[in-house]
Amino acid sequence: MKRAKVNQNINLKEYSDIWIIGEQREGKIHPVTIELIGEGKKLAKGIDNKVVVVVAGYEIDEEINKLLYYGVDKIIYISSPLLKNFSTDGYASSISRLILERKPEIVLVGATSIGRDIGPRIAAKVGTGLTADCTKLDIDKEDGKLLQTRPAFGGNLMATIICPKNRPQMATVRPGVMKKAAHVDNPSGYVEVVEADITEVDIKAKVVKILKSSKKTVDLTEAKIIVSGGRGVKGPEGFELIKAFAEKLGGEVGASRACVDSGWIDSMHQVGQTGTTVRPEIYFACGISGAIQHLAGMSDSKYIVAINTDPTAPIFKVCDFGIVGDLKKVIPAMIEEVERNKEFEI
């Protein structure tokens, strides 16, 4: 186990509660926030702490109130016109100052582009360590420490990291890994609005203009059905069949790292240890052998369907349904069956 840098001046008894750094983009709460709330509530049972969500932004009161319906004890809404658009300086400074003042025991951040940006900066500002890209969190039953597990050495090992003498204990968590918090009908939590303790001087980079890409983005973490291709598709043209099948099912296209590295498909489709972690209702693994790095990113799918010509492929040991055959023959037959059954729905 690795250990964070020791700070002898910290009184651990002064720290309490689990904080979730909520993420919002253009006024909408990112799904990873709901996942972190679910994980935070699970951890809180082991140390009898409250779950608090901290969200920075401006004029997003309606979205903030929605979070109460996931069973949180409290929401701290850091409000300021300076926080309307995301800025590294503004978000990191306002949140870290609040952490230093309120002293939470644990702080969880989504391992998104925004979370990976501000997480390390917040940790540096408050003088603690940060475990990045965690795939599992737990509480040590002996002394209540946070056990932070993440892949190491390319996913060949899982390292459990602790922060025994620094606070807060901070971790970023991969989207799609943790189960979302359940919706509650009668929330008991409340919202505390805090005015951000920042000025324009604190924000070095200014947002002048926002230009949106015309390129279609892929959100694999929210997909109910994913059809993924591996080396077995044998080239970029093989993904045309994968895309056709995914479109017919109303799903998204995934891919193994080998396909992305070969330039057959964009990296936004990559599933696995070094890609996106997913948990759809159905995951079709087409021409995917089942390397441990790929399995780490999709093994929590509700149902896994494997199609492979090799009957000894590791993927058949974890799948719910296996088809030994050429995907170029199997997938067209499945598309035909879906077309015949117009009521197909997940």
Q: Is 102 annotated as a binding residue?
A: no
3-state secondary structure of 241: helix
- Domain regions of the chain by residue span: 12-202, 220-340
CATH superfamily, region 12-202: HUPs (3.40.50.620)
Beta-bridge partner residues of 161: 148
Q: Is 270 annotated as a binding residue?
A: yes
Asked whether the predicted pLDDT for residue 189 surpasses 50, the reply is yes
- CB distance 75 to 189 below 8 Å: yes
Q: Is 293 annotated as a binding residue?
A: yes
Place of tokens 């203009």: 209
- Global pTM exceeds 0.75: no
Q: Is 87 annotated as a binding residue?
A: no
CA 314 to CA 172: how far, in whole Å? 30
Q: Is 289 annotated as a binding residue?
A: yes
- CB distance 161 to 131 below 8 Å: yes
Q: Is 272 annotated as a binding residue?
A: yes
Sheet of strand 321-324, all strands in order from the earlier edge strand to the far edge: 252-255, 225-229, 282-286, 303-308, 321-324
pLDDT digits (tens, 9 = 90+) for 12-28: 788 889 999 998 888 88
pLDDT for the residue numbered 206 = 76
Q: Is 24 annotated as a binding residue?
A: no
Q: Is 257 annotated as a binding residue?
A: yes
Check if 12-202 and 220-340 are the same fold. yes
Mean pLDDT of 45-56: 86
**Confidence class for position 322, pLDDT limits 50, 70, 90:** very high
pLDDT digits (tens, 9 = 90+) for 269-290: 999 877 888 889 899 999 998 8
pLDDT digits (tens, 9 = 90+) for 228-258: 999 888 888 889 999 999 988 889 999 999 8
Q: Is 271 annotated as a binding residue?
A: yes
Q: Does domain 220-340 have CATH number 2.60.120.10?
A: no
Q: Is 8 annotated as a binding residue?
A: no
Mean pLDDT of the chain: 85
**Confidence class for position 4, pLDDT limits 50, 70, 90:** very low
Q: Is 30 annotated as a binding residue?
A: no
CA 175 to CA 30: how far, in whole Å? 10
Mean pLDDT of 107-127: 90
Q: Is 276 annotated as a binding residue?
A: no
Q: Is 169 annotated as a binding residue?
A: no
Q: Is 174 annotated as a binding residue?
A: no
Q: Is 231 annotated as a binding residue?
A: yes
